[in-house]
Structure 1
């Protein structure tokens, strides 16, 4: 009997067992503390604060002052790390009525949290391992991920959506095998299911995915099985968590680094941390009853500040993604390579007008700026080429990026692929709770577990139980997919006529959709600011996506931009706000470091202009933001220099020449583009 038939029989047997023994349980919605707390008055009051149209996130100065404390008045929890888990911990703790502070060495979502596959997946790729390896840990992870996936999508509907993913089958056994496997996945999902999986014939599959090969590895395509997973804008979701936590009362501060821990002289318990503001260079003490280490791949470095002999808790794994042109995949349909040469899974997904493909899974060293190597890029290209009728070329790779997964160590695992993605919470040193492992999908429950551990460690007294499963993030409450139509009808873009005058024009659908999905219900405020500032915006949007100012917080009518989103270098903003193409060009950003800083100053000026009508600004803030006309002129010429620089380093020189001419002759303030 063939290996495929044997696996099919085993899958059928397990499917029957799962159906008989676990189906009823899995279809029953779990009752958790979040469900019991959904009617708590704190929830409603927090929702009102977060969804208030005039909501204002405290300035960076105020947030920093809130972190500075004394032994007699410490914070309840100090969080180290501004990624998905760290911001999730800050939000969870703040919504329980605890005093919370968070520090991030770089920008929010500047590390692993912005370098994902952009999927909120329910662990379908772990289901096969759970079934055939009889690994309950992997199966538990699938159950958990499915439960959390639906909550993430519901809490940030403007940043998340369901995405169909196609699995090609070149053998009839594969058709039955994957159909049965994904139907089992549907069963496990129960009420958390996004949409039912289904089979498409070979002809239907090619119509849905035109670049799908009708023949692969000497076999004809027999059809595809499509299932649904979640897709998200990871960096914006992370920033949304930080903003929501700040509105809930947490003091969140990025570009602030922990340099050492403060310890009680008698008990040696950690009672806070020495913090360095990397923008000013000044240091201050932040006292807290408990410190939560959510530093991702750097959590071991933080642990060694408490105990230099601490053994590693994580096994770093490199996940590389590449960005390809849009014609590699249709809009609204992903493709799964179910089995690579080393038994892994590779996704190929549409993403903001491009195609991203990945990921790899290999051991790596921990570095602040991980870069993909050529072997990893070629691995992804080799994995997808057998499934496409497009000639897959190395020159088609627009960019690539690498993220470091902080996988929880399993002493019995031989490689990173077999290490469970489940998370670990531990307190090895009094006063220091470490949370590591896990994945984007389960950030909320990871944060809940970490806060529970912190409450136990510090004997804290929260005002209520965890409520984050029923708490919409900023911009999500009341959002509807049709919101972009109101933007397109009510707002205009500004352009220059042949006579050189600025005149109103129609906001195109693409711009309206971008604003709606990026900012949710706050998109209207971004459009208002952009419309009011069109004369400055048209100079600062060369080759940037739609709007150059980070509306995430400018839209909240904050004071200075550096006290809001805190993206002090334009390169950081681009990495967080655009598609992955910018991530692969970090070196170019570093070469033009002074250019980014100058343009950042201009953006601060723009933010100030957009908010000055609705806020009282103190004199020091106003002086720090003033940008001279000379600097604006310098910025204009530096923009031209940048385009020349890109022209000299681009394969598509003709296209850049044309776009540069268009930029000089007809500068439109809504020109879409990517770095």
Structure 2
């Protein structure tokens, strides 16, 4: 009898496990099917042609100067500005974008490299019953799933470990992380799970062992932020947007509205930073997507406009790769100043950060020594005493300015908006400010919806959900093998090209190839990089981006 009961229990457990596995597999297949359908639908609905050959920078500048009037002029070439340009042009609006420096040269390339919903925001939403925080997390999780689908060569799911040092915290954090999975719903990347102390130390042997109870692992996305920004901008150009970097706005153009009698913004006076040439770009409306420099452009519109940007410095440091496993990050949920700290694997190194300290707006923010030491102190708190964390281990550091904002239409002008704002001035200048990398697309959609309504533009509905970005078409996880076979590249170099350029990696390789020869398999990577750079200068002459 005992044997039969044990056999029955085993059958029940086994059946449950099989059913669960089958259910998860079906869920994953459903998500993949839905993603494929979203891609097909997004492209089928577009009414604008896709240009296979990118125009040169000179051609883009000529389009800016010779076009009588654009529907939309976007100022700012970060993630939000490029997202607005892509959204506008795919709605069949005549679109222009100018950026005074290089695309993604500012805040958009100085992030934590995560595509995430915000675990800490969900904690606040639950603890304070804050519906706004909850909806912000839900939106971000939806955008996380979309971004992973439309740029698979630049992004991927990443497991992140949350070590637990008190017994009562294990069920508390587990419930919170499971809620994170639940809010993601069908867009959950992979289910979170609990690790014993032994398993946690196997995966993360440099963790502090004393009082370690166990760990919880959950999944978020990681991406190459600078390349992602560039992919958005390139996609906008391929659909017909006239975009140019190193083109700064000197002042806004205005004309009197015959109906209201008020002056309305109708474009901008621009200057080519490289040549010094000045020209006018006329547009029915102008979108201010300048991030930390939001107030500078708002004051071009109205000198008496109050400042809405409250800049905060987010510092990250790069330390050797042995500070983290190759394929897993770590989250410190409760630092000494209350901010979350991550250590994440990146390019065979480890990124640690970020800080959150008030700062002044500058084009080239420099990380402060205090911020660097703060991060190192937090790293020491989580690592074994056997691991000596030294200041000399810091290989690089960067500071990004997070443009926290206050809503100019809010009665409480001191309260910082936790998400983003879209405001329209009396003269029609549209400003999008705040937010975070993950939600750039939904921010752009909201901005264009408000712009179209305020300026009475004739446009299609948003088409960017499921719209594949530059390099996504033709990319597969094994694409690098063909590069090795066809061009005799080293495996590491081929993987770099595939993950950076996606399906366009072959275009780069062809232009970098020595005429009439194959690269020798024993060729040095340094020589290859120089050839790739030369190829890029030919392939993308209008984008002076960092290779």
1:223 paired residue among 214, 233, 236: 214
Pair 156,282 (structure 1): closer, same or farther in 2 beyond 3 Å: same
Partner of 1:91, secondary structure, is: helix
Which residue of structure 1 lines up, in the alignment, with residue 198 of structure 2?
203
Q: Which runs of 5+ in 1 are unaligned?
A: 1-27, 30-34, 493-506, 568-572, 578-675
How far off is 1:267 after superposition? 3.0
1:124 paired residue among 119, 125, 145: 119
Distance (Å, rounded) in 1 between the aligned partners of 2:115 and 2:527: 24
Which residue of structure 1 lines up, in the alignment, with residue 97 of structure 2?
102
1:425 paired residue among 415, 422, 425: 422
Contact 1:37 1:466 in 2 (8 A): no
Q: Is 294-303 or 266-275 further displaced after alignment?
A: 266-275
Which residue of structure 1 lines up, in the alignment, with residue 233 of structure 2?
242
Distance (Å, rounded) in 1 between the aligned partners of 2:413 and 2:166: 32
How far off is 1:399 after superposition? 1.1
Count residues with an aligned counterpart.
503
Pair 556,144 (structure 1): closer, same or farther in 2 beyond 3 Å: farther
Q: TM-score, normalised by structure 2?
A: 0.86
Partner of 2:168, secondary structure, is: helix
Distance (Å, rounded) in 1 between the aligned partners of 2:504 and 2:39: 27
Pair 546,312 (structure 1): closer, same or farther in 2 beyond 3 Å: farther
Q: Is 436-445 or 133-142 further displaced after alignment?
A: 133-142
Distance (Å, rounded) in 1 between the aligned partners of 2:173 and 2:344: 19
Partner of 2:345, secondary structure, is: strand
Contact 1:137 1:420 in 2 (8 A): no
Pair 36,335 (structure 1): closer, same or farther in 2 beyond 3 Å: closer
Contact 1:170 1:222 in 2 (8 A): yes
Which residue of structure 1 lines up, in the alignment, with residue 477 of structure 2?
481
Contact 1:525 1:556 in 2 (8 A): no
How far off is 1:270 after superposition? 0.6
1:344 paired residue among 317, 328, 339: 339
Q: Is 284-293 or 61-70 further displaced after alignment?
A: 61-70
Q: How does 1:519-534 map to 2 (within 5 A)?
A: 519-532=501-514
Contact 1:69 1:287 in 2 (8 A): no
Pair 488,296 (structure 1): closer, same or farther in 2 beyond 3 Å: same
Distance (Å, rounded) in 2 between the aligned partners of 1:40 and 1:296: 28
Q: Is 260-269 or 231-240 further displaced after alignment?
A: 260-269
Contact 2:138 2:184 in 1 (8 A): yes
Q: Does 1:251 align with 2:247?
A: no
Which residue of structure 2 lines up, in the alignment, with residue 603 of structure 1?
none
Pair 550,104 (structure 1): closer, same or farther in 2 beyond 3 Å: farther
Which residue of structure 1 lines up, in the alignment, with residue 24 of structure 2?
none
Q: Does 1:67 align with 2:64?
A: yes
Distance (Å, rounded) in 2 between the aligned partners of 1:38 and 1:508: 35
Which residue of structure 2 lines up, in the alignment, with residue 467 of structure 1?
463
Pair 478,374 (structure 1): closer, same or farther in 2 beyond 3 Å: same
2:544 paired residue among 566, 571, 590: 566
Distance (Å, rounded) in 2 between the aligned partners of 1:176 and 1:318: 34
Which residue of structure 1 lines up, in the alignment, with residue 367 of structure 2?
372
Contact 1:194 1:229 in 2 (8 A): yes
Partner of 1:471, secondary structure, is: coil
Distance (Å, rounded) in 1 between the aligned partners of 2:42 and 2:209: 56
Which residue of structure 2 lines up, in the alignment, with residue 403 of structure 1?
400
Distance (Å, rounded) in 1 between the aligned partners of 2:160 and 2:105: 28
Listed one character per residue, the Cα deviations across residues 478-509 of structure 1 (whole Å, up to 9, x for unaligned) are: 321111122122221xxxxxxxxxxxxxx222
2:149 paired residue among 137, 146, 154: 154
Q: How does 1:660-675 map to 2 (within 5 A)?
A: none
Q: Which runs of 5+ in 2 are unaligned?
A: 1-29, 32-36
Q: Is 372-381 or 403-412 further displaced after alignment?
A: 403-412
Q: How does 1:575-590 map to 2 (within 5 A)?
A: 577=547
Contact 1:422 1:437 in 2 (8 A): yes
Distance (Å, rounded) in 1 between the aligned partners of 2:191 and 2:363: 41
Q: Does 1:273 align with 2:251?
A: no
Distance (Å, rounded) in 1 between the aligned partners of 2:340 and 2:413: 18
CA RMSD of aligned residues (A): 2.8
Distance (Å, rounded) in 1 between the aligned partners of 2:319 and 2:516: 32
Q: Is 423-432 or 221-230 further displaced after alignment?
A: 423-432
Q: TM-score, normalised by structure 1?
A: 0.71
Distance (Å, rounded) in 2 between the aligned partners of 1:263 and 1:279: 26
Pair 293,394 (structure 1): closer, same or farther in 2 beyond 3 Å: same
Distance (Å, rounded) in 2 between the aligned partners of 1:133 and 1:320: 29
How far off is 1:431 after superposition? 2.4
Distance (Å, rounded) in 2 between the aligned partners of 1:104 and 1:147: 29
Distance (Å, rounded) in 1 between the aligned partners of 2:46 and 2:89: 14
Q: Select the structure with the greater relative contact order (CA < 8 A; seq sep ≥ 6).
A: 2
Q: How does 1:43-192 map to 2 (within 5 A)?
A: 43=45, 49=50, 55-69=52-66, 73-192=68-187
